[in-house]
């Protein structure tokens, strides 16, 4: 199994990171740790050195931070990302989150940052991990303007089935998180979407399948089990297919 999206660099893991990583290594083939900020990218690259051939870095800047971040910080982050592309398996996370945005100005700042990543992914022909909340169709439409992006991963997807089909029609992937363990909407997505276009993730430390407990990469097993149950499939078959999907898109050797 592979956790296609997590944030083990976050402070929530500071006291127990070694134990969390040990549990992940005992259960999983690999994890993709997504940088969400300037500091997050730096921590992610350091962790990739600490856990070679297991923790693979994606480098990004979260849309939540775009409206408030100083432009010099964003530019510094983008410059460092460009300098470290050879160490990353993907760009992101980046994208659009209109869930709590109150102003057009904030939305435009998110879109400007997203375009920076779309352009870089197109130019470098790298996979792109997209965070899209209440903006799935907008993110997809913007991405169509950029050729050369091999795959886009719509991480922790929570949009509708119609948009998911449009995403898959473009050849892109849907990543389902541990939300499917308790969310009826996400369970419907898991039932209806083909395994050929699915990845599994935790988005840890968030979205724990266990009440009152912080999420962690090893819990991606619960995502796999739930998908298998919803599709009436063997757990190992779901694990094998989703792992192969992740290896292919991120260039991880089997």
pLDDT single digits (tens) 32-53: 999 999 999 999 999 999 999 9
**Mean pLDDT, range 194-209, rounded to an integer:** 98
Confidence of residue 227 (pLDDT cuts 50, 70, 90): very high
For residue 250, pLDDT over 90 is answered with: yes
For residue 4, pLDDT over 80 is answered with: yes
Q: What is the per-residue pLDDT across 118-131, written as a single tens digit (0 to 9) for each?
A: 999 999 999 999 99
197: enclosing H helix or E strand: none
Q: List the domain range (segments joined by +) for residue 7.
A: 2-250
For residue 16, pLDDT over 90 is answered with: yes
CATH of the domain at 184: 3.20.20.140
| pLDDT in the model for residue 100 | 87
Question: For the chain, how many structural domains are there in total?
Answer: 1
CA 200 to chain centre: 9
Rounded-to-integer distance, Cα 181 and Cα 184, Å: 9
Contacts of 79 (CB under 8 A, 6+ apart): none
The residue written with tokens 């300098």 in the block is 83
For residue 102, pLDDT over 90 is answered with: no
Q: What percent of the chain has pLDDT over 90?
A: 98
Q: How many C-beta atoms lie closer than 10 Å to residue 66's C-beta? A: 23
Using alpha carbons, select from 178, 224, 60 the residue that is nearest to residue 129.
60
Rounded-to-integer distance, Cα 105 and Cα 193, Å: 35
| pLDDT in the model for residue 222 | 98
| pLDDT in the model for residue 254 | 76
Confidence of residue 243 (pLDDT cuts 50, 70, 90): very high
Asked if residue 219 lies in contact with residue 208, where contact means CB atoms within 8 angstroms, the answer is yes
Q: Which residue has the higher pLDDT, 102 or 95?
A: 95
């Amino acid at each position: 199994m592979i956790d296609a999206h997590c944030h083990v660099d976050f402070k929530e893991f500071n006291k127990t990171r070694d134990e969390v990583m040990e549990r992940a290594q005992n259960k999983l083939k690999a994890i993709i740790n997504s940088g969400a900020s300037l500091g997050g990218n730096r921590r992610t690259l350091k962790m990739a050195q600490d856990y070679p051939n297991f923790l693979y870095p994606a480098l990004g800047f979260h849309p939540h931070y775009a409206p408030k971040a100083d432009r010099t910080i964003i530019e510094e982050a983008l410059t460092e990302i460009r300098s470290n592309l050879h160490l990353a398996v993907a760009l992101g996370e980046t994208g659009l989150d209109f869930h709590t945005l109150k102003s057009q100005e904030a939305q435009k700042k998110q879109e400007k940052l997203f375009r920076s990543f779309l352009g870089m992914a197109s130019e470098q022909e790298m996979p792109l991990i997209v965070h899209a909340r209440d903006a799935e169709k907008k993110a997809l439409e913007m991405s169509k303007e950029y050729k050369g992006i091999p795959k886009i991963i719509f991480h922790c997807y929570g949009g509708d089935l119609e948009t998911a089909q449009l995403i898959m029609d473009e050849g892109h992937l849907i990543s389902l998180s541990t939300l499917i363990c308790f969310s009826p909407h996400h369970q419907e997505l898991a039932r209806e979407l083909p395994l050929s276009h699915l990845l599994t993730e935790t988005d840890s430390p968030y979205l724990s399948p266990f009440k009152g407990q912080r999420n962690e990469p090893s819990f991606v097993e619960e995502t796999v089990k739930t998908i298998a149950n919803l599709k009436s499939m063997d757990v190992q078959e779901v694990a094998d297919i989703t792992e192969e999907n992740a290896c292919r898109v991120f260039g991880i050797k089997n």
